[in-house]
Amino acid sequence: MSKAVDVRITGRVQGVSFRAYARDQARGLGVAGWVRNEPDGAVAAHLEGPDRAVDAMVAWCRHGPAYAEVEQVRVEHAVATGAETFVIR
């Protein structure tokens, strides 16, 4: 099975290399999509791939890298875009 989700992560998630670590984690799990900083200090991501891999990536987003302080992760079902890699936007 395959799934796609949009994720919004809030807390201390900018300036702690969240996007770079997310890219590495996603690529290691075989998840495609993107991650970007939002103007309000949040991080947004689009994740797609095998169910278990996407679920593992969402679980990682709940804590992020060592210096992140994740307060909230909002997950919404999304439409797959057919992405083949994971990029930082």
Q: How many CB atoms lie within 10 A of CB 62?
A: 12
Round to whole Å and give the CA distance between 49 and 80. Answer: 8
Among residues 19, 27, 74, 89, which one is catalytic? Answer: 19
* CA pair distance 41, 63, nearest whole angstrom: 16
Please indicate whether residue 19 is annotated as part of the active site.
yes
Of 27, 36, 37, 52, which is the active-site residue? 37
Q: Known catalytic residues? A: 19, 37
